[in-house]
Amino acid sequence: MASNFKQLLNSGKFVITSEISPPKGTNIEKMLHHIDLLKDKVDALNVTDHQSSVMHFPSLGGCQVIEERGGEPILQMTCRDRNRIALQAELLLAYTRGIRNVLCLTGDAVVVGDHKEAKGVFDLDSVQLLRTIRQMELGKDLGGNNLDGTIEFCAGAIVTPEARPIEPQLIKFENKVEAGAEFFQTQAIYDLDNFAKFMQNARQFPVKILAGIVLLSSARMAKYMAENVPGIFVPQYLIDELASAPKGGALNKGIEIAGRMITSLKKEALCDGVHIMAIGREEVVPDILEAAGLPSRVMA
Amino acid sequence: MKSITKQKPFDEIKQQLDRFDRVYIIGCGTCATMTKTGGKEEVLDMKKRLEELDKLVTGWTVIPTACDEMTEVAIREVDGAIRNVNCILVTACALGVHRVSLYIEKPVIPALDTLFIGIEDSPGYFHEVCAQCGQCIMGETASICPLTACHKGLLNGPCGGTNNGKCEVDKEKDCAWTLIYQRLRDQGRLDLMRKYHPPKNYQVMPRPKIIKLT
């Protein structure tokens, strides 16, 4: 069984993905609620892998739930916490549980998270992980041994279109394409002119690009992101726009901004879809879709 | 080669010396002197602090290079002062501690933490250049080792956390891959940024690392 998500990517449709953040603990009610809320409204759902190096319920666990409930999961896999043996084993497990999409990431540094003294593994990097998947699909593990039953994944990666300097990131992007990445979900973008420039270059490669849309929930949050999150540049006019919202209306303004950006991206056919990251406010993703004028969708 | 050390928190030294009241101190005249962590001055300072704890410091010496085999001779010369102590406190790197322990059958306690093998950029500033992985790739990375200089030790280009040439974990530290990119570009060797580096062999030399070189 091939990936439904892959078929959608190749169908030429403007693809919408979003993401689920698993809980810190065993209370998965909220996660289940978010999955049920979003699984039929977007084309696929990422599950984050200890995002920001903060220990959580695992990505694989969240993906299994999505799959069981009829959604299309994208397994986020960082190289921070597992060596090559553990990563390969997890790919085997994911495949047997019906998971068909993997997003390969290096992973944030351990020291930005909540277990600052832990050992950062990074036995593989994102490029090597992509190649590992391709090698395992051919029936061999990284040790060169035969697999009894192989895997098949739609493998993706990330790229930061607003990184400065951009050149080393673009080379890495090409290295990921070369390694077998089929789709990219970008870091948050806000400057559409800059993104258009990035896309002009990216279009020459046979990959699908989903623009990262991070919901700005307040002027303060936007300013914090602009100043503290590497590779994210929030233009001042957006911060001003959020600040101008009436008291208690910043979130709605943020939803409006996100919707507006998605509309522009789709209208100008700048990219192949969007990846919506609502960071803790997953319940408003349907509102963003509505603001973007996108019909609620049901999985094919 | 310089072994970069820093003094352990004094409380830790105090705790390790808890059961010993007669102490002899050995410093090192090479790396620990250069880093100002275990030379004559620091040994005398340590002596003073131990005496304030009512320890009897029977003597001290600074061995020219604590990690080399001449240490045996240096220790024999101070045998009288060592004979009656309960332990030896060594203000040298772990190599010095190891070497001293070969010649004295008494507890040998490190006063320093060994941080890395590095070089001095300017007075008081040290940095690690090589992680001694046993499989040097600096020929393809413009003489900058990404395993050492990149926080995550990435072999195939920068992560997405780099910003304006700095590292995501510390805005004061350079992104290794940005430096590699710039140097390769200036050398007209940017094609090397596109070369795939396969997963590293961490068993080039399995631990414990022992080798006979002919």
Nearest residue in chain A measured CA to CA from B182: A168
The pLDDT, as a whole number, for residue A1 is 66
Alpha helix (H) ranges present in B17-158? 31-34, 40-52, 71-77, 79-83, 94-103, 146-149
Residue ranges in chain A assigned as alpha helix (H) = 4-11, 29-38, 59-68, 84-96, 126-137, 167-179, 192-202, 219-228, 236-243, 250-267, 285-291
Which residues of chain A neighbour B200 with C-beta distances below 8 Å? 123
Kindly state whether A179 is in contact with chain B, defined as any CB-CB distance less than 8 angstroms.
yes
pLDDT, residue B136, reads 97
Which of B177, B178, B199 is opposite residue A142, by nearest beta carbon?
A: B199
Mean pLDDT for A149-178 is 96
What percentage of chain A carries pLDDT values higher than 70?
Answer: 98
**Average pLDDT rounded to a whole number, residues B40-66:** 97
ipTM value, please give it. 0.93
Domain boundaries, chain B: 2-114, 129-194
CB spacing of A175 vs B162 below 8 angstroms? no
Q: Which DSSP category does B17 fall into?
A: T
pLDDT digits (tens, 9 = 90+) for B181-214: 999 999 999 999 999 999 999 999 999 999 999 8
Tell me, what's the pLDDT at A228?
Answer: 82
Give residue A231's pLDDT: 77
Q: Please tell me the distance from the alpha carbon of residue B213 to that of residue B195, in angstroms, as a whole number.
A: 32
Half-sphere exposure of A85 (CA within 13 A, CB side): 0
| A-contacting residues in B 5-44 (Cβ below 8 Å) | none
Percentage above 90 pLDDT, chain A: 92
Mean pLDDT for chain B? Answer: 96
pLDDT at A233: 87
Res. A43 pLDDT band, cuts 50 70 90: very high
pLDDT value, residue A296: 63
Chain A interface test: which of B156, B162, B168, B179 (most A C-beta within 10 Å): B156
Cβ pair B152:A106 closer than 8 A: yes
Tell me, what's the pLDDT at B156?
98
Beta bridge partners of A186: A159
- The answer to whether A48 faces chain B, any CB pair under 8 Å, is no
* pLDDT surpasses 90 at A295: no
Is the CB of B207 inside 8 Å of chain A's CB atoms?
no
- Which of B148, B151, B152, B177 to mutate: most A Cβ within 10 Å? B152
* C-alpha closest to that of B152 among B165, B164, B139, B161: B161
B185 contact residues in A (CB cutoff 8 A) = 167
CA distance A272 to A185: 10
Residue B90 phi, psi (nearest 5): -110, 120
Q: Establish if A136 touches chain B: CB-CB under 8 angstroms.
A: no
pLDDT at A50: 97
Q: What pLDDT, in 10s, does the model give residues B73-106?
A: 999 999 999 999 999 999 999 999 999 999 999 9
Interchain CB contact of B202 with A (< 8 Å): yes
- Please give the average per-residue pLDDT across A127-156, as a whole number: 98
DSSP secondary structure string for all residues of A260-286 = HHHHHHHHTT-SSEEEEE-TT-GGGHH
Question: Which of A127, A168, A230 is opposite residue B168, by nearest beta carbon?
Answer: A230
Q: Are B156 and A125 in contact (CB under 8 A)?
A: yes
The CATH architecture assigned to B2-114 reads 3-Layer(aba) Sandwich (3.40)
Backbone angles phi, psi at B40, to 5 degrees: -55, -45
Q: Is residue A227 less than 8 Å (CB to CB) from chain B?
A: no
Q: How far is A119 from chain B (nearest CA, A)?
A: 11
Confidence class of residue A227 from pLDDT cuts 50, 70 and 90? confident
The reply to whether B186 touches chain A by the CB within 8 Å rule is no
Residues from chain B contacting residue A158 (CB–CB below 8 Å): 160
pLDDT of A298 > 60? The answer is: no
Picking from A251, A256, A260, A257, the residue whose alpha carbon sits closest to that of residue A217 is: A251
pLDDT score, position A299: 44
pLDDT at A300: 41
Give residue-wise pLDDT tens across range B116-133: 999 999 999 999 999 999
**Partner residue facing A175 (CB), from B156, B162, B169:** B156
Domains (range + CATH), chain A = 4-217+269-286 (3.20.20.220)
What local confidence, expressed as pLDDT, does residue A297 receive? 59
- Kindly determine whether residue B160 and residue A231, on different chains, have CB atoms separated by under 8 Å: yes
B35 vs B214, higher pLDDT: B35
Task: State pLDDT tens for residues A167-219.
Answer: 999 999 999 999 999 999 999 999 999 999 999 999 999 999 999 999 999 99
pLDDT, average across residues A89-112: 97
Using the Cβ of A144 and the Cβ atoms of chain B, whether some distance falls under 8 Å is answered with no
User: What average pLDDT does range B160-174 have in this prediction?
Assistant: 92
Cβ(A211)–Cβ(A253) below 8 Å = no
Q: Which amino acid is at A66?
A: I
pLDDT in tens, A238-279: 999 999 999 999 999 999 999 999 999 999 999 999 999 998
Sign of CA dihedral B29, B144, B154, B133: negative
Percent of chain B with pLDDT over 90: 95
A128 touches chain B (CB under 8 A): yes
The chain-wide mean pLDDT, for chain A, equals: 95
The residue among A78, A104, A106 with the most chain B CBs within 10 A of its CB, best to mutate, is: A106
**Confidence at residue A2, expressed as pLDDT on a 0 to 100 scale:** 80
